[in-house]
Structure 1
Amino acid sequence: MPSVPVGLSYHEMFAVSLGSPALWRCRACGKQVTNRWHHFHIHTAQRSLCPYCPATYSRIDTLRSHIRTKHREMMFAKGSL
């Protein structure tokens, strides 16, 4: 997983894509994205760990979606989410 280049702020990390004004190009990995905030988190060290399996996610909403789809029976047993 590429990290945020040293000294590069969130706003400096993205450039408007030449192919489409609705897309942004990440200067860290070159990927074109529509949501800079969501993409930015893949380059940070913070990870959310699944309490039921070894899966980890860079965003808490992705972890919650994983738990709802992969561990639904555990949710009802624990009474969370």
Structure 2
Amino acid sequence: MSQLISLDKINEVKQWLLSKKKYLSDIPFDLDLIENDVVDSLSFVEYVLLIEEISGREVVVDDTVLDKVRTLDRVQLNYME
């Protein structure tokens, strides 16, 4: 997959997160989304489903999933490339 398409996809995830958290004006790609409550327990399932929809890849929910989706950088590395 080209780097430009990958960037478009991760930016789509970023825009979705920003639409859910109106108080944020930007989300750095290395920001821990869970520790900073950008993704909370109520929105986690919706977040994972969005990643699957945009990437076209299944997100296996196991012991490693939190580390794989914790930052936008990690989402891009694990699901968008």
- Shorter-chain TM-score bucket reads under 0.3
Answer 1 or 2: which has greater helix percent: 2
Answer with 1 or 2: which has the greater Rg: 1
Answer 1 or 2: which has greater strand percent: 1
TM-score (norm 1): 0.27
